[in-house]
């Protein structure tokens, strides 16, 4: 896995370099060097991060996030509740 590929995986799982460093108990500078291509990405980390991204994408497809009402609908509902009270 190249540094660019690792960066893409982090984007897929929506994690920052700081967050993955904390998750791994790793020095953030080491993660930055991996992403920059100055250090190799260990094979275990490459496999784990790809699997995590694949699993997360599959979960999003099975269970997409709910559509939230717009702010104007929320305000109308709040107004209606206030007037009813």
Containing 47, the helix (H) or strand (E) segment is helix 43-62
Task: Provide the residue range defining the domain that includes 45.
Answer: 3-83
Contact 59, 13 (CB under 8 A): no
Global confidence as pTM: 0.71
- Give the model's pLDDT for residue 53: 94
* CA atoms within 13 A of residue 34's CA, in its CB half-sphere: 23
Q: How many domains does the chain have?
A: 1
Cα 35 off chain centre by: 16
User: What is the C-alpha to C-alpha distance for residues 73 and 61, in angstroms, rounded to an integer?
Assistant: 27
pLDDT in tens, 28-63: 999 999 999 999 999 999 999 999 999 999 988 898
């Amino acid at each position: 896995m190249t540094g660019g590929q690792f960066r893409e995986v982090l984007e897929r799982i929506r994690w920052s370099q700081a967050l993955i460093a904390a998750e791994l108990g790793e020095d953030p500078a080491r993660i930055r060097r991996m992403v920059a291509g100055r250090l190799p990405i260990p094979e275990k980390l490459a496999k784990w991060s790809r699997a995590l991204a694949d699993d997360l994408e599959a979960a999003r497809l099975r269970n997409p996030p709910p559509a939230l009402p717009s702010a104007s609908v929320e305000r109308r509902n709040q107004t209606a509740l206030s007037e009813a009270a």
